[in-house]
Amino acid sequence: MINIRDKGAEIWENWNRPTRVIFVLSTITIIALLPFAAAWGPTSFLDTPITSFKNVLVYPVGMFVLMALGLNIVVGKSGLLDLGYVAFFAIGAYSQAILSTSFGWSTWEALPVGIGLAMVSGVLLGLPALRLRGDYLAIITLGFGEIVRIVILNSRKVTGGPDGIAGIKNPPAIFGLEFDLFHPEHFFWLVGVMVLLVIWMVRRFTVRRPGRAWEAIRQDEDVASLMGVNTLVYKLWSFVIGAAVGGAGGVLYASKVMVISPDMFKFEVSVLILACVVFGGIGNIWGVVLGASLLAYIPDRIRFISDARQVIFGLVLIIMMNLRPDGLLPRKKREKISEKRKK
């Protein structure tokens, strides 16, 4: 099967700067216009039954892309299997919910707090858990995800227990863009900006020391420490940065849906986000974006077949993973090597 990823990289490398700028800007424009695609004739096939297309683009699509990118830092870059990623999402969402309903904080004020709390919990989980490897780490993170949900479920006074928290305020307007029920496209753009920020951040890390350290840890942790890589610290960093993205996603999510409850943060969500990463192409940003978009969108697109849709969805996953075991757009096997050959 042809390698679309390498083909794309080749085309990109042969472009000069203006071409690249035009390509990036037009891609961003097209994606920004996506919310209106359902109402425009030629692209109306994209429309989703039951839930409105604009809302589907925000959640699950935009949110899943954001979260998958965050989890990709942990699973894809440094090779740590995290099965409890939803915990950070939940911590972000509940931070926003509590700060908004009890203290009247706006989303922009709650955002740094939500990110901060997610990062702190990332450290608290990571410090003991990251001393373990492979399966053990996966089990511990799985446990952490469940613990966070169960604590939320049982802390009735703070979190409302199983009833959750209602009446979370939408974010205040920025640049005249209202964030409310009638403008889901504004939320979509907001998530889009966050996704761009995360992509930018990940790309910067990848070519610098942390990226090298993560790559080394992923390939051989013992040898990495022989090279002088403080493996625990770098693993912790990837964990905490991943947690920050999850927390940010949670804050946005809570302020969009306005009502949250513990059953939104089940283990299945962790698995689905992980599936997005693996399906798209573990370790490759563009693969992850594509994978998350499809996996989030398809179930809503085929909602008209009601009960059968989960079966179809599962079948699509199984067939795809058989055809492309490394994901839709796998990571380059040897990063940067083609460039060096040319010199």
Partner 1 sequence: MRLEIKDLSVHYGKIEAIKGISIVVNQGEIVTLIGANGAGKTTTLKTISGLRKVSRGAILFDGQDISKVPAYERVDLGISQAPEGRGIFPGMSVLENLEMGKFNRKDRRSEMKEDLNRVYDLFPRLKERSGQAGGTLSGGEQQMLAIGRALMARPKVLLLDEPSMGLAPMMIANIFQIITTINTELGTTILLVEQNAQQALQRAHRAYVLETGKIVKEAKASDLLNDPEVRAAYLGTGAGTGH
State the residues that interact with partner 1 by CB under 8 A: 209, 212-213, 215-216, 219-220, 222-231, 333-337, 340-341
Shortest Cβ 246–partner 1 spacing (Å): 27
Shortest Cβ 209–partner 1 spacing (Å): 8
Nearer to partner 1, 54 or 235 (CB): 235
Shortest Cβ 254–partner 1 spacing (Å): 39
* Residue 321 to residue 118: CA distance in whole angstroms: 32
* Residue 250 to residue 43: CA distance in whole angstroms: 30
Nearer to partner 1, 66 or 75 (CB): 75
Instruction: List 260's β-bridge partners, or say none.
Output: 165
* Residue 198 to residue 187: CA distance in whole angstroms: 17
Tell me the three state secondary structure of residue 102.
Answer: helix
Nearer to partner 1, 222 or 307 (CB): 222
Instruction: List 174's β-bridge partners, or say none.
Output: 177
Please give the structure tokens belonging to residue 40: 């425009």
Shortest Cβ 222–partner 1 spacing (Å): 6
Q: Residue 252's closest CA among 170, 155, 165? A: 170
Q: Residue 229's closest CA among 220, 269, 305? A: 220
Shortest Cβ 231–partner 1 spacing (Å): 7
Nearer to partner 1, 17 or 334 (CB): 334
Nearer to partner 1, 163 or 220 (CB): 220
